[in-house]
Amino acid sequence: MSDSTHHSQFAENSQSCAPAVSVSNLHMSYGSFEVLKGIDAEAAEGSVTSIIGASGSGKSTFLRCMNLLEQPKEGRLEIAGETVEFAYSDKGRPVPVCKQVTRNLRTRVSMVFQQFNLWPHFTVLGNVTEVPIHIQGVSRKEAIERAEYYLEKVGMSDKRDQYPAYLSGGQQQRVAIARALATEPDVMLFDEPTSALDPELVGEVLNVIRSLAEDGRTMLLVTHEMRFAREVSNQILFLHQGQIEESGTPEDVFENPSSERCQQFLSSIIH
């Protein structure tokens, strides 16, 4: 009884507040250096948001705030059903977010890293089943089924018993994507997923990400692949010096950028 009530409430909620991610007035500093100076953004359920900008503009930091790898000192984050309000102490240090909230949030927001970061002492299958078995409490059998499903999806089934050291960068990144998928997250974060790859390996990873976009997964993507961002995204955020300088649909941002900095950035990258 209570279960069904809860469920209907949840359904109502997800209809009334459509954004899967909502960020307001996010501030983040490294010591006295302010990296993010008040970010407001939203991402709808099932949408792809690409975050672009020059290096040092704060885009990776912004993404890392989404699963609290960096702790903002001010602002509000709503993601995967969790709401976190950030505050800072008298000494100017961020007040740590409650451990339970952090853990809940992190098990539902999964991340793909620039350097893949597979655990070298686990096989491909071990990497993909690690989080479901040891953090989410899924049975080994179900975790392996899940892993097989997602490894198939990224085209890495035949390497399930290999160790990461034996795989190419592109293959490692595809396994890392399967690992992120196997946690069945509400939101996926990609932190420059192709920047560490040799040019000929970029395509295979982008193809996998593209197929996820077509599946309607909520994704936030920091990338330098402008053509790809334009093609798969529903929304583009252009960051400059810790602020969102330009945002909108890919057409708006890439064809009619209103900000001068965004125009400069795009022309420097594309031409």
Partner 1 sequence: MDFSWIHDPFYQSYFWQGFVNTLMLVAISGFFGFILAVLNALAQVKGPRPLAWLAKGYTTVIRGTPLLVQLFFFYDGIGRLLPMIDGIRQSIIWPLLTNAFFFGCLTFTVSVGAYAGEVIRGAMASVPKRELETAKAFGMSSWKILWRIWLPRAIQICLPTLTGEIILLLKSVPLVSTIAVVDLLRAANIVRSETFLVYEPLLLVAGIYVALTVVLTWVMHTIEKNFPGAKPQKSALFSRL
Binding site for partner 1 (CB under 8 A): 67, 69, 102-107, 110-111, 113, 115, 117, 119-123, 130-131, 134-135, 163-166, 183
**Helices 169-182 & 124-134, crossing angle to 10 degrees?**
20
Buried b (16+ CB within 10 A) or exposed e, 161-190: eebbeebebbbbbbbbbbbbbbbebbbbbb
Please say which residue, 107 or 247, places its beta carbon nearer to partner 1: 107
Q: Number of C-alpha atoms within 13 angstroms, CB side, residue 70?
A: 21
- One-letter amino acid identity for 258? S
For residues 134 and 227, which CB has a smaller minimum distance to partner 1 in the complex?
134
Q: What are phi and psi of 34, to 5 degrees?
A: -85, 115
Separation CA 110–CA 25 (nearest Å)? 23
CB of 195 to partner 1, least distance (A): 14
Q: How far is the CB of 115 from partner 1 (least distance, A)?
A: 6
Sign of CA dihedral 162, 168, 169, 175: negative
User: Coil, helix or strand for 223?
Assistant: coil
Least separation in angstroms between residue 121's CB and partner 1 is: 4
Contacts of 258 by beta carbon, 8 Å cutoff, 6+ apart: 246
Q: Cβ 178 to partner 1, closest distance in Å?
A: 13
- Residue 152 makes CB contacts below 8 A (sequence gap 6+) with none
Measured from the CB atom, the residue of 123 and 235 that comes closer to partner 1 is: 123
State the nearest-atom distance from the C-beta of 149 to partner 1, in Å: 18
- The span from the CA of 250 to the CA of 232, in Å, is 9
Q: Which is nearer to partner 1, 220 or 262 (CB)?
A: 220
* 188 versus 253: smaller Cβ distance to partner 1: 188
Q: How far is the CB of 125 from partner 1 (least distance, A)?
A: 12
Nearest by Cα to 185 from 131, 128, 109, 129: 109
Given the complex with partner 1, which of 1 and 165 has the nearer CB atom?
165
The least distance separating partner 1 from the CB of residue 207, rounded to whole angstroms, comes to: 23
Nearer to partner 1, 31 or 120 (CB): 120
